[in-house]
Amino acid sequence: MSIPVDVVGRTVSFRPSPRSDVLYGEVVNVGFQWPYPKDKNGIRQLKKKISVLLPDGRVLNMSAEAEDIKKYRIVAENEKQEAW
């Protein structure tokens, strides 16, 4: 069982692209994309987004859907402290 990464205040690490370095930051906002995007059938979808504050002050807005978490390799850094 893994610790959820979409919790405000949680420290996470991620890799935005396969060739980039691993980045660390704090989750500062969790919400849904607005306006809601439409799928190929024209039906609106809820897409979860997270905002991560990097140590240099930049804020990255990323999708937090299950496939995106796997793609960016987003991991909760304080996982060992909170796992039972």
Residue boundaries of the structural domains of the chain: 11-79
Strand order in the sheet with 75-76: 59-63, 48-53, 23-32, 11-14, 75-76
Q: What is the pTM of this model?
A: 0.78
Q: Average of pLDDT values for 22-29?
A: 94
Confidence at residue 84, expressed as pLDDT on a 0 to 100 scale:
46
